[in-house]
Amino acid sequence: EEDLVQSGTEVKKPGESLTISCKASGYNFNTYWIAWVRQVPGKGLEWMGMIYPSGSDTLYSPSFRGRVTISADRSLTTAFLQWSSLQASDTAIYFCARLGCGDASCLERRGLDVWGQGTAVIVSS
């Protein structure tokens, strides 16, 4: 079964650094894009960016570029989302999700078809 399992809730202070993780299983991690999506409680969804583990190509939303770093470790089949200095406004739930593909080259994209359970990040002094 294809699955994404995320790390647990984090409570941090402003200015602290943080890395959360998303471990994939049940499929070839190297050949599917992994996206990160933010959701402020009670609000909508925001695409932050994504990574292609084979080659580590990354794309960022302009809203998040420079604020977070997306990476992946193929040996661990795990993607990461990292902050160097958290702000209170980073308080949210963060989801990782896989971009479904209809072919080996992912020329046919099929939306975000597998989602992690979400990681709550709370930033408060």
Partner 1 sequence: EIVLTQSPGSLSLSPGQSATLSCRASQGIVHNYFAWYQQKPGQPPRLLIYGASTRATGIPDRFTGSGSGTDFALTISRLEPQDFAVYFCQQYGSSPWTFGQGTTVEI
Our finding on whether 3 is near partner 1 (CB under 8 A) is no
Which C-beta is closer to partner 1: that of 91 or that of 118?
118
Structure tokens at 72: 């992946």
Q: How far is the CB of 74 from partner 1 (least distance, A)?
A: 23
Our finding on whether 91 is near partner 1 (CB under 8 A) is no
Amino acid at site 39: Q
- Residue position matching structure tokens 């990461």: 80
Beta strands per DSSP E along 1-125: 3-6, 10-12, 18-25, 34-39, 45-52, 57-60, 69-73, 78-83, 92-101, 109-115, 119-123
What's the rounded Cα separation, in Å, for the pair 75 and 70? Answer: 16
Which C-beta is closer to partner 1: that of 24 or that of 112?
112
* Contact region with partner 1 (CB under 8 A), list: 13-21, 22-30, 78-86, 116-124: 116-124
Structure tokens at 64: 């998040």
Q: How far is the CB of 61 from partner 1 (least distance, A)?
A: 4
Our finding on whether 66 is near partner 1 (CB under 8 A) is no
Q: Closest by alpha carbon to 65, among 48, 53, 77, 81? A: 48
Which C-beta is closer to partner 1: that of 64 or that of 71?
64
User: Which chain residues interact with partner 1 by CB under 8 A?
Assistant: 35, 37, 44-47, 59, 61-63, 95, 97, 99-100, 109-113, 115-118
